[in-house]
Amino acid sequence: MSRREDGYTFLVVLGLTAIFSIGLAVAGTTWSKGVRRDHERDLLRIGGLYAQALADYRDRSQGSVRRYPANLSDLLKDSRTVGLNRDLRRLYPDPVAPELPWGLILDDQGNIMGVHSQSQEAPLATAPQPAGPLLLPAVARYCDWQFVAPQSAVAPRSPSIVSPNAPTARVS
């Protein structure tokens, strides 16, 4: 075997390594987008759970004044009634920013009427998208997706996502 043949084998192995690396890079990008898409779906699901739990808490209020909870832990055990009422089984973390607490949307009395993510990342979907009974607005960041309880007990029992221009108070 001459030296020229040894060099050719080295170039073939080097080329195959480059092709394999490019394939891994493409697969990694695809996997990463899939994970982000799953987190977006979880954000919609969990945000809807919070909006529905807030509406249920408000609708169970005694008397003519309907109140939202003062903090999210009130959704785990409603102490206003004799029986045990749980609107949520546990407090779910924000799927797109689990290290951050939920942003709170407050009513005029300072009670929680909705939640939003505090993630500043841009969502994968940039145009309005249908999400079950909801229509996601075209927004630039996840924190613009606001999950607010329906306004009245006679309204349809599905949570709503409010556009970023809606008149709501935000506490970040």
What confidence score (pLDDT) does residue 2 get?
A: 57
Q: Report helix, strand or coil for 165.
A: coil
In contact, 131 and 105? CB cutoff 8 Å: no
Render pLDDT for 34-88 as a digit per residue (tens, 0 to 9): 888 899 889 989 999 999 999 999 988 887 888 899 999 999 988 787 778 888 9
CB 75: neighbour CB atoms within 10 A?
Answer: 23
- What percentage of the chain reaches a pLDDT higher than 70? 76
Tokens for 158, please give them: 């599905």
pLDDT, mean of residues 109-121: 92
Least confident of 6-10, 14-18, 90-94: 6-10
Task: Give the residue, 93 or 82, on which the prediction is more confident.
Answer: 93
What confidence score (pLDDT) does residue 169 get?
A: 39
Say yes or no to pLDDT of 151 above 80: no
Say yes or no to pLDDT of 1 above 60: no
* Mean pLDDT, rounded, of the chain: 79
Distances, alpha carbon 128 to alpha carbons 56, 147, 161, in Å: 28, 16, 12
CB 7: neighbour CB atoms within 10 A?
Answer: 10
Which amino acid is it at 82? Answer: V
pLDDT, mean of residues 135-163: 66
- Spatial CA neighbour of 47 closest among 141, 163, 161, 136: 161
What confidence score (pLDDT) does residue 4 get?
A: 55
Give this prediction's pTM: 0.69
Q: Report helix, strand or coil for 123.
A: coil
- Spatial CA neighbour of 93 closest among 119, 55, 74: 119
- Spatial CA neighbour of 102 closest among 71, 66, 134: 71
Domain parsing of the chain, residue ranges: 3-171
